[in-house]
Amino acid sequence: MRNFKGYGNRLYKVKCAVLAASVALTSFSMTGCFETRPPRVSHSYAEEDVKPGSPTEASPTPTATPTPDPKFEAIKLATQAGLTEKDLKGQYALFERYYDVVSTNPNLNGYREFIYHLFPIIADHLKSENEEYFFDKVRSLKIIENHTDGIDGQYIQSENRVEVEPGLTEKLGEGAYSAVLYHELMHFIDLNIAGNEFSRYLALLDDGTIHKYCDLSYPERGHIKSYLYTYLTEGGAEMYTSEYFTHAPNSYLIRVRFMVALKYIFGAEKIDDMFFAGDTDYQFYELLKANEFTDEEIAKLFKGMKNSADALKEPKTLIDPREALIRLYIKNVGEEYEKDKTFCRILGTMNFDADLNKIPSDYSKFYQKQSAIPQEVTVQIWGYVTNYVGNYDVQWGFVGTPGPLYLDGQLKIVIMAAPMEGPMLDYKSFIADYDFEKDELKDCTLYDNWMPKPLDGSTSGTGTTTSTSGSDETTETT
Ligand SMILES: [Zn+2]
């Protein structure tokens, strides 16, 4: 098919570039922290840090001054920020505080609208005990353009700074550019929303046991063999970027699908709580322990999740993430995973990295034969894309392959598509209602409305106009 063959250089480059962002994040961690010691998340509360509009509130006065309606005020501010009442999720007072912090941060010029648009995630996941810490981080967050060494963006935790490659809008188009920015901001949220958390990093000791780094003191720290981390940071950042904004991932596809499979097995709430916690990897470790994985197996799985060329030199020292999913399914859902067509289909969408197949597993014969979204369904989705594109001369391509994603609690099949030439690539997401039992595509809609409208003083989008203006969340393509 043209669409597959035409997985053009530019699209591939985007994916690589975005992919490279993770490498940078990782290598930052490695150099900044892991080689010497895990990161110290340091922060300080400014003494004068009393926020206007926060708990100083309404000291009750005998005179009947009408108290402003927080809902009315919040909606007014939300409108100025480009949000809807629905985005506030009923948390009016919290939004007023958030608005105040974001609007007075001097280092967000040109990006402020993106930060306002993070509010629904914050409303969903910020616990009140972490509010002060997190808002402090929002207050000091910086976003700059900087040459990021061949990658598109990164979040540097120690500097509390997001960096994006200069001219990224022109290079990628606004759809992909904002997807990159949201992905990096999701790292910002992930690393700060749970407060000042020191228990983020896991250490593997010489004796094969795994511990939270913060629980270790000397002499144990002298016996650290390596640090362990999982898919969940990058897979989660991309999955939640997709859930809240783009509605389809454009990087880390296997990791996103792993996260979707976890949601399928354990339910969204448990996985949401795990990702937005401060000790995500440890919680995942505990989950595995509770499901009869040994420390040795967990270390092998975490190494398998790195999926690096180095690790694949010794495939016997790894466990394939797909094996982990099957074992977790058996323990939590039941023995008959082979008959669960939805689960098998999710596994099938993780099958495009042939290197992973080198990892030995009792289950490998099974998961390797699972197929991705059937070709005829992909062709049908392509029909919606071409229908949308009309008679343009420019050829379009898919970014990766169609895969599963939960949107509003429903499991959909999603994919991004983009023109493969032209001064600006214009990414669109396509969301399919899919009957996993019958392998039938029921409907497919276009979504391209994730780019926030620029606010005053914003530089993003200069010289171009966004192609989207509709307020509808999804536009039918047929
Ligand atoms: Zn990332």
Distance 363 CA to ligand 1 centre (A): 30
Distance 191 CA to ligand 1 centre (A): 12
351: closest CA among 428, 436, 261, 412?
A: 261
Q: pLDDT tens for residues 194-213? A: 998 767 889 999 999 999 99
Distance 238 CA to ligand 1 centre (A): 7
Distance 143 CA to ligand 1 centre (A): 15
In whole angstroms, give the CA distance from residue 296 to residue 436: 35
* Sheet architecture: strand order including 410-419: 396-407, 410-419, 428-435, 440-447, 475-476
Distance 50 CA to ligand 1 centre (A): 33
CB atoms within 10 A of CB 317: 14
Distance 232 CA to ligand 1 centre (A): 10
Are the CB atoms for 183 and 251 separated by under 8 Å? yes
Distance 192 CA to ligand 1 centre (A): 15
Distance 377 CA to ligand 1 centre (A): 30
Write down the residue that tokens 């596994």 correspond to: 347
The whole-number pLDDT of residue 456 equals 63
Distance 437 CA to ligand 1 centre (A): 33
Are the CB atoms for 227 and 34 separated by under 8 Å? yes
Distance 177 CA to ligand 1 centre (A): 14
In whole angstroms, give the CA distance from residue 216 to residue 227: 13
Distance 147 CA to ligand 1 centre (A): 17
Distance 218 CA to ligand 1 centre (A): 32
The whole-number pLDDT of residue 445 equals 96
For 362-395, letters b (16+ CB in 10 Å) and e give ebbebbbebebbeeebbeebbebbeebeeeeeee
77: closest CA among 59, 66, 63, 93?
A: 93
Write down the residue that tokens 């067509």 correspond to: 341
In whole angstroms, give the CA distance from residue 302 to residue 318: 8
Residue 144 sits at φ, ψ, to 5 deg, of -135, 160
Distance 445 CA to ligand 1 centre (A): 27
Distance 277 CA to ligand 1 centre (A): 17
Distance 84 CA to ligand 1 centre (A): 28
In whole angstroms, give the CA distance from residue 97 to residue 78: 12
The whole-number pLDDT of residue 30 equals 26
The whole-number pLDDT of residue 184 equals 97
Distance 237 CA to ligand 1 centre (A): 6
- What secondary structure letter does DSSP report for 153? E
Are the CB atoms for 14 and 425 separated by under 8 Å? yes
Instruction: Please say whether the dihedral angle defined by the alpha carbons of residues 104, 108, 110 and 115, taken in this order, is positive or negative.
Output: negative
- What secondary structure letter does DSSP report for 50? P
What is the chain's mean pLDDT, rounded? 81
Tokens of 467: 């192609």
Distance 178 CA to ligand 1 centre (A): 14
Distance 193 CA to ligand 1 centre (A): 16
Distance 153 CA to ligand 1 centre (A): 8
Please state the pTM of the whole predicted model.
Answer: 0.82
Distance 306 CA to ligand 1 centre (A): 14
- Where exactly are the structural domains of the chain? 2-45+69-192, 202-231+248-369, 375-476
Distance 20 CA to ligand 1 centre (A): 8
Distance 186 CA to ligand 1 centre (A): 8
Distance 28 CA to ligand 1 centre (A): 12
- Between the alpha carbon of residue 311 and those of residues 89, 299, 304, the distances in Å are 44, 12, 7
Q: Is the backbone peptide bond immediately before 120 cis, with ω within 30 degrees of 0?
A: no
pLDDT in tens, the chain (478 residues): 222 222 332 332 222 233 322 222 222 222 222 222 333 222 222 222 323 333 333 444 455 666 778 899 999 999 999 999 999 999 999 999 999 999 999 999 899 999 999 999 999 999 999 999 999 999 999 999 998 777 889 999 999 999 998 888 887 788 888 999 999 999 999 999 999 876 788 999 999 999 999 899 999 999 999 998 888 999 999 999 999 999 999 999 999 999 999 999 999 999 999 999 999 999 999 999 999 999 999 999 999 888 667 778 889 999 999 999 999 999 999 999 999 999 999 999 999 888 889 999 999 999 999 999 999 999 999 999 988 877 667 788 899 999 999 999 999 999 999 888 766 678 899 999 999 999 999 999 999 989 999 886 554 433 332 222 222 222 222 2
Q: pLDDT tens for residues 402-419? A: 999 999 999 999 999 988
Are the CB atoms for 431 and 474 separated by under 8 Å? yes
Distance 183 CA to ligand 1 centre (A): 6
Specify the amino acid at residue 177: Y
In whole angstroms, give the CA distance from residue 321 to residue 347: 10
Distance 155 CA to ligand 1 centre (A): 8
Distance 268 CA to ligand 1 centre (A): 21
In whole angstroms, give the CA distance from residue 431 to residue 388: 13
Distance 219 CA to ligand 1 centre (A): 34
317: closest CA among 293, 298, 289?
A: 298
**What residues pack around ion ligand 1 (CB closer than 5 A)?**
21-22, 234, 237
388: closest CA among 437, 342, 427, 352?
A: 427
Distance 55 CA to ligand 1 centre (A): 35
Distance 201 CA to ligand 1 centre (A): 17
Distance 164 CA to ligand 1 centre (A): 12
Distance 89 CA to ligand 1 centre (A): 27
